[in-house]
Amino acid sequence: MRKLTLAIAITTAVLCAVAIWFCSLDKETRGFIATFPTNTDLLTWPQSQRDAAFRAMDRLPVLLHARAVSPSQTPLALPLGKPLVIPGIAAYVAAQHAAGIVILQDGKVRLERYGLGFEAAGRWTSFSVAKSFTSTLVGAAIQDGYIKSLEDKVSQYVPDLRGSAYDDVTIRQLLTMSSGVQWNEDYEDVHSDVSRFNDAAPDPGVDATVSYMRKLPRAHPAGAVWNYNTGETNLVGVLISSATRKSLSQYLQEKIWQPAGMEAKATWLLSKTGQEIAGCCIQASTRDFARFGLFVLANGSPQGQQIVPTDWFAEATRKQQGIGVNGMGYGFFWWTYDDGSVAAQGIYGQGIFIDRARRLVIASNANWARADNGPEPEAREAFYRSVQAAIDAGQ
């Protein structure tokens, strides 16, 4: 009888936990539960599972490790502007497998579209768009005096890197992805570093990212070669937390989410050792991603409060490294265009495009068929150009 009573109690507790979790999901997410992935290797999820997961990364039973970032009590208003007419917009949204597109000009909403059953109130994951937020937090830490110089050695702030290939690498070299340390960022190679490092077992008492990265060999002299490296953005996140003695989520809330007037709660996924995954995985509304673009256009000084050094974005968003693509380069975790525009980009179609000359921001979330290959990236670049052309034509 006691065993039966215990079994009933356990079953009841499990059912209650499931019910509480289910109630925590928003309306749109509940309809996708049947296709939630059951493993953490997101690079192997089929598109149907990604459709479900990208709107609920912070609530997936296989993850469920994230910190919350509270919205501002005085959200920045996004008034409606003159509707922007973009021929073929419906076909573009469908071809991009887009979840959300928000276009702002002069702080006004010129166009807003949603797909995949996603809604304005939902949170979609950022992937590497988070890198540009992390870069901005470095600027904030310099403004606050926590980081003295971009020429400081990374190991000065992350002592567990001493004796590794990162021992003499500077913060600037990490921000420009020119450390010279060997790294493979091939999203479709299951043996690549980017596929393996999040699941690697950490050394006892050492951050998970640091554990993996400090074992990597040197491939080039520091500063000589650009090589895209998500792991190094995660190292920058560890560095910021070490310097500020705050979690990245707390610092993001203090320095960007609150001052920029973000309207909705955000979350940031955590590594095995409890550190925010700085190169990825901020969950936020498409409108708040667009508000970050306005924060950049305001030079990191919303409502007169200077969050980063006055010259930070001039440096962070200029071409510091060539990437082998005509008309483009790389800054401090930002993709740069020779016309002065800049973009934050994440795999599967996440992006924030910022055009200072036109006071233009295009925030988009999607679930492309492949991480960064296929026709969608080029089509998105063409879409950016079509929006610029429409604005120039007085649309």
Task: Out of 64, 94, 115, pick the residue that ends a domain.
Answer: 64
pLDDT over 60 (residue 14)? no
For the chain, state the CA radius of gyration. 21
Together in a domain, 86 and 58:
no
pLDDT over 70 (residue 384)? yes
Nearest to 246 by CA among 132, 141, 135: 141
Structure confidence by residue, pLDDT tens digits, 233-242: 999 999 999 9
Number of domains making up the chain: 2
Structure confidence by residue, pLDDT tens digits, 146-189: 999 999 999 999 999 999 999 999 999 999 999 999 999 999 99
Together in a domain, 11 and 74:
no
Helix (H) or strand (E) holding 229: none
Extract the tokens encoding 337: 């265009």
Together in a domain, 36 and 88:
no
Together in a domain, 59 and 157:
no
The answer to whether 180 and 218 have CB atoms below 8 angstroms apart is: yes
pLDDT at site 89: 96
pLDDT at site 12: 45
Task: Out of 42, 64, 86, pick the residue that ends a domain.
Answer: 64
Together in a domain, 52 and 132:
no
Together in a domain, 154 and 180:
yes
Together in a domain, 94 and 146:
yes
Together in a domain, 22 and 41:
yes
Together in a domain, 50 and 98:
no
pLDDT over 90 (residue 195)? yes
Extract the tokens encoding 238: 């560890």
Residues spanned by the domain of 270: 69-392
Together in a domain, 14 and 148:
no
Q: How far apart are CA 292 and CA 328, in angstroms?
A: 21
pTM: 0.92
Together in a domain, 236 and 133:
yes
Together in a domain, 91 and 6:
no
Angle, helix 89-96 to helix 376-392, in steps of 10 degrees: 150
Looking up residue 215, the CATH number of its domain turns out to be 3.40.710.10
Q: Which residues contact 62 (CB under 8 A, 6 or more apart)?
A: 36, 37, 38, 39, 40
Task: Out of 36, 64, 92, pick the residue that ends a domain.
Answer: 64
Mean pLDDT of 247-255: 98
